[in-house]
Structure 1
Amino acid sequence: MKEITTDEVKDLLEQDKDVKLIDVRETDEVAQGHIPGATNIPLGLLEFRENELDKNEEYIMVCRSGGRSGKATQFLKERGYNVQNMVGGMLAWDGPTE
């Protein structure tokens, strides 16, 4: 599974790169703080909402600690999506939140 560090994600955002973040935490967790611009698709709904994603885009999966996003990364990778897991999740994130 492809992985990316929180520092690498922060660098991409600071460079105004077109970063597609998918936060797979539950909506109440996301409401407590998320990376600006991240799309919330809870892990339990991912199989029902994967049609919202484009197989030609690259996605970075985010969760609290990296476990759920790892599962999401594997799930989407098996279906032909270009995805990577943000290691450490929001617990390791020290960048901006909203």
Structure 2
Amino acid sequence: MEWWIVLLIVIVAFVVIAAINYFRLRKGITFLTEEEFTQNIRKAQVVDVRDKDSYEYGHIIGARNIPYELFRQRAQGLRKDQPIYLYDKNGVTVLRAAQVLKKKGYRDIYVLKDGISKWNGKIKSKTK
């Protein structure tokens, strides 16, 4: 077999596996626009999964910080009887955090579409 055919097969396989994983991560997670996110924010547990420095630089008012690196250990501190609103910088890492919650039995999981990078609402910051 020609080397380029083998390379093409490997690339196609990689793309298929990546697509399957992406859609598997999204299953059971509701994505919210900024407007939808703010509508019920007071009734939810809001969690910022970015690192501590990013959180302190600026975060959504009322959010608690559980960095993704510590998420598996600290997620059990979240209540299962209340919705969980998750966000990160741009909506990528938050999918893995949502998957951790799903595996731990949480069902009412919502994610801020596009993350805080597109957020126009109020921000709390320790640096200001």
TM-score computed with the length of structure 1 as normaliser:
0.89
What per-residue deviation string (whole Å, max 9, x for no partner) do you get for residues 43-65 of structure 1?
01011112211111210111000
Aligned to 1:96: 122
Max Rg structure: 2
Name the amino acid aligned to 1:96.
K
Query: Which of 21, 26, 33 is residue 5 of structure 1 equivalent to?
Result: 33
CA displacement 1:49-92 (0-9 Å, x = unmatched): 12211111210111000111111112211221121111110111
Asked if 1:63 corresponds to 2:91, the answer is no
Query: Are 2:103 and 1:85 aligned?
Result: no
Counterpart pick for 2:48 among 23, 26, 41: 23
Please give the alpha-carbon distance, in whole angstroms, between the structure 2 residues aligned to 1:37 and 1:87.
18
Identity %: 29
Aligned-partner Cα distance in 2 for 1:12–1:46: 23
Give, in angstroms, the shift of residue 19 of structure 1: 2.5
Q: Which runs of 5 or more structure 1 residues have no equivalent in the other structure?
A: none
Q: Could you tell me which amino acid in structure 2 is paired with residue 2 of structure 1?
A: T
The higher relative CO (CA closer than 8 Å, separation ≥ 6) is in: 1
Paired letter, 1:78 = K
Pairwise CA distance, 1:10: 2.2
Q: Which runs of 5+ in 2 are unaligned?
A: 1-28
TM (normalized to structure 2)? Answer: 0.69
- Per mean C-alpha deviation after superposition, the further-off stretch among 75-84 and 37-46 is 75-84
- Greater share of helix: 2
Q: What pairs with 1:30-49 in structure 2 (closer than 5 Å)?
A: 30-49=55-74
Could you say which residue in structure 2 is the equivalent of 1:75?
100
